[in-house]
Amino acid sequence: MADANAEPAAGSSSSNESVTQIEPIRMPTIEEMRAQEVWNNCAVKSVASGVMGGGLGLMMGLFLGALDNPITNDTMTGRQQFVFTAKQMGSRSWSSCKTFAVMGLVFSAAECIIEKVTHIICELSNHYFKVLTVDLLLSKKKARAKHDTTNTAFAGCVTGGSMSARGGPKAACIGCAGFATFSVLIEKFFDRHT
């Protein structure tokens, strides 16, 4: 066995450099825990997602509205063309803003509610009711109160179906399937869940 006081061999680092310092775990403060509780609220998450979605839609509308090549009369002056283009950009950006705000709000609300309701169902089946059918339905995943791809697929289906519901049931079904597929693909692309 080697002596602890022996000098390190040539080419190896000293014992002080090889020892990694472990920092103590810092417990969250009361303010941090309260802020976390605020952000765990479905209404807060949904409104924040709606506002961020609206901002994204506004920027995309401005960008894509500027790329439009409107057919203008040759008789329009430069100022008239500028005003006409600005009005089109404004209407397109406002339309995109509303669409993305609704999309963000509905998706976030659906995902959050699905997570919370699934958690409540699991808790009820585990502790209080012990109904055979609920136990059979939840037997594979008893603790589903987590963010996973299944919740994303259901939230995508709700969002796509509700946004395309004006087109009728067929459009709602296609919107549901399309948005759910897109949501799952994005989720897998970012690989947030292992």
Res 130 pLDDT > 50: no
**Following DSSP, what letter does each residue of 62-111 receive, concatenated?**
HHHHHH------TT--HHHHHHHHHHHHHHHHHHHHHHHHHHHHHHHHHH
pLDDT band of 193, cuts 50, 70, 90 = low
> Which residue from 82, 58, 61 is spatially nearest to 70, judged by alpha carbons?
82
Report field, pTM of the whole predicted structure over 0.85: no
Higher-confidence residue: 3 or 22? Answer: 22
CA trace torsion 28, 29, 31, 35 (10° rounding): 10
Res 22 pLDDT > 60: yes
Asked if residues 76 and 84 have their Cβ atoms less than 8 Å apart, the reply is: yes
Average pLDDT over residues 143-150: 68
